[in-house]
Every structure is written in structure tokens, then in C-alpha cells.
Amino acid sequence: MAERAGPALSLFVTGTDTGVGKTLVSAGLLHALARYHPRVVGMKPVAAGTELIDGVAANDDVLALRAASSCRVPPELDNPVLLPDALSPHIAAQRAGVRIDIEHLVACQRALALRADAVVVEGAGGFMVPLSALETGADLAGALGLPVLLVVGLRLGCLNHALLTAEAIRARGLTLAGWVANQVDAAMLAPDDNIAFLQRQLRAPLLARIAYQAAPDPRALTFNLPSAWQ
């Protein structure tokens, strides 16, 4: 695959917690960006939890991002660290005898940015998820230095989680480029009021609102993309 002449649009997707829809949003974002950029690719630097598919260990999040990407890249670039156990990355890595090297993950992202027009990097878990005894997902985000998109899982407690995460993102000197409201609890009370509060407090644009769906389709998501991403 030929390398591009200029830098690709690159974004880092994080969430208020695990299970809030980061992969859904990342895949949907890839589909949305593909309308403006011929070559888009998703990246999952660290994936924890695998199952055997045709005798090969695979991770659902990684497969979803690859399915939404319009260009194919070596697996060691779009998923440098694949860990067998569905645990916090630092525990999964320790159990697998693997050291998560942030510098290597950054180098992989830079290599992808030479091969694609847009790169969507999905973090593991929440923003501060441990990657080792000393480093977290926030350290990875800081080393990448990319604009951050925050996925807020709409459920009880999301306001506290969203405000804390936004504060942590900005404390690292990163730009909170936007956020997505994803209703993960079908029975959540007053979702509109929660979204209105966050629109006032997060000081970043709401790029998408996703209603609760039992089996959401990332291709059907609608994003209000900033003009700089188009």
C-alpha cells in the first residue's frame, strides 16, 4: 500500500467507562469519515479478551474496527497488543507475560497515519485504565497527542464520570474535540435532562446522540462532524 504525502486526520476515542459503546462509535465514525476520506482505518492499540475464530485468536472490537475500515493494514499495526484475558490491560498483560510499550503503540499509530487518510484510535476501557503498574490509557493518549472524542454512556452516574473524564483529558493538555451521548441503559430516567446538563458543562460539541438499541448498526449512526474532519 502506498504511503500518503501528508499527515492523516487522527482521533483518539475514549469513554466514561468500559462498555459504553466506544467500538460502536469508533466504527460509526469510520463510516462517517469514509464519505470524505478514501482511506480510513481503525486502530485498537490494546485489546483484552479473545475467542478462537477458525482456529485464530481474535477480539470482537478489533474485528469490528477492521470491518468498518476501508483499507487493510498489517495486524501488528492496527492491533499491536492482543491479550487473551478479558481483564484490565495491566492484569491481562501480566498474565500473558507481555509488556505494553507506549512508545511502540505511538509508532504504530504514526505508521498507520502514513498509510491512510483518517485514523480512529480506540482506547481500552475508560481514560485512566491501567496499562501497567505505572502507566495508564491517559499516558497513551498524552503520548499520541491526538484530539479526543469522549463517549458518554448514558446511565445513572454518567454526569460525574463525564465531568471527571473531561477534566482528566484537559489536564493532560489534550483537546476534547467532541462527545457522543450513547444511551446504554434503556430504562434510564430523564436522558434529555442529562444531555442538556452535559452540553452546558463539557464545553465541547455534541457530535452524535445514540438511542438505546439492542443490536446497533454503526453504519446507521449520524454524526455532526466538525468541518476540520471533513
The catalytic residues are 44
Q: Whole-angstrom Cα distance, residue 228 to residue 9?
A: 9
What would the grid cell of residue 142 be? 498524552
Cα 69 versus chain centre, distance: 14
Q: Which of 159, 132, 142 is nearest to 16 (CA)?
A: 159
Contacts of 38 (CB under 8 A, 6+ apart): 70, 117
Contacts of 171 (CB under 8 A, 6+ apart): none
Q: Which of 198, 187, 189 is nearest to 162 (CA)?
A: 198
CB 42 within 8 Å of CB 26: yes
What would the grid cell of residue 181 be? 451521548
- Tally of CB atoms within 10 A around 51: 11
SS3 137: helix
CB 138 within 8 Å of CB 166: no
